[in-house]
Amino acid sequence: MSVENIRIVLVNTTHPGNIGSAARAMKTMGLSSLYLVDPVDFPSGEARALSSGATDLLESAVVTQTLEEAIADCELVIGASARVRGISLELTDPRDTAQVAVSEASTGRKVALVFGREDRGLTNEELRLCHRQVHIPSVAEFSSLNLAASVQVLAYELRMTSLSHEGEASVPEVREYELASSEQMESFYTHLRDMLNDVGFFKSCNPEKIMAKLRRIYGRSRLDRMEYNIMRGILTETQAAVKNLRKPS
């Protein structure tokens, strides 16, 4: 089943009850992979109570310190956000998101759906680690759902999509190489930033803004592992060439 490749990631959740309710929401829809990034209170009796029997998900939940660790092996990362921010990631509704997530998962890729904290959602830094954004089209003046309720909406759409795909032969997209993982892309962005710094590209412009745009470009093109290696090689050679040029003769 392709949904096994889809994980729900809850970032820095404050209320353990929300973790339990999210586990319940997942289990009712056939999802089982739960990642908790730096939860404020976990494990907890309240989480168990509100999971209403989905304790197996709580017991097998993977707890990490950072979002980077929770998504390191994922090829597609989707951030759920109550507000539609200026970061201009590709934005979709839960139904379209489920289509993309299930079809990627059915080719064996690992997909993460990332949910933010109850009071402030996901930080811009965290959203930058995502390839796309999903927004539940709530009313603009009261847009924020409860955390577990938003997990339920996404889990339901994933279920509907995977049910409608059941029995269909999945035709994997033909790619010679696997896509680069999130961990690889993060080291690529760090290297790219260092190289641009070495060549003096940033000058008076804001490196954060430029890097956000570059992430968008590379996020769209989705490098495979061979392309990733080529890009890393180009960066290394560019840095070496600049260093040589600057050597006093």
Nearest distance from residue 155's CB to ligand SAH, in Å? 12
Helix 182-198 to helix 207-221 angle (10° resolution) is 140
118 binds ligand SAH (CB under 6 A): yes
39 binds ligand SAH (CB under 6 A): no
The stretch among 62-70, 130-138, 187-195, 217-225 that binds ligand SAH (CB under 6 A) is 130-138
Nearest distance from residue 108's CB to ligand SAH, in Å? 26
Nearest distance from residue 137's CB to ligand SAH, in Å? 7
150 binds ligand SAH (CB under 6 A): yes
Nearer to ligand SAH, 139 or 174 (CB): 139
Q: Return d(Cα 231, Cα 178) in angstroms, integer.
A: 15
Helix (H, G, I), strand (E, B) or coil at 131: coil
Using an 8 Å Cβ cutoff, are 80 and 113 in contact? yes
Provide the pairing of β-strand 33-37 with 62-64. Answer: parallel
34 binds ligand SAH (CB under 6 A): no
The residue within the footprint of ligand SAH, chosen from 67, 147, 185, 235 (CB under 6 A), is 147
Nearer to ligand SAH, 72 or 149 (CB): 149
> Quick one: CA dihedral 13, 16, 22, 26, positive or negative?
positive
Write out the binding residues for ligand SAH, residues 82-111 only, by CB under 6 A: 82-83
Q: 196 — phi, psi (to 5°)? A: -65, -35
Nearest distance from residue 150's CB to ligand SAH, in Å? 4
Q: Return d(Cα 213, Cα 60) in angstroms, integer.
A: 37
115 binds ligand SAH (CB under 6 A): yes
Tell me how many residues contact ligand SAH (CB under 6 A): 20
Give per-residue burial for 120-142: e unless 16+ CB within 10 Å, then b: ebbeeebbbbbbbbbbbeeeeee
38: region left, alpha or beta (phi > 0 left; psi from -120 to 50 alpha)? left
The residue within the footprint of ligand SAH, chosen from 31, 80, 130, 158 (CB under 6 A), is 80
Nearer to ligand SAH, 42 or 202 (CB): 42
Alpha helices in 72-206 (DSSP H): 94-105, 124-128, 147-165, 182-198
40 binds ligand SAH (CB under 6 A): no
- Where does this chain bind ligand SAH (CB under 6 A)? 80-83, 115-116, 118-122, 134-136, 138, 143-145, 147, 150
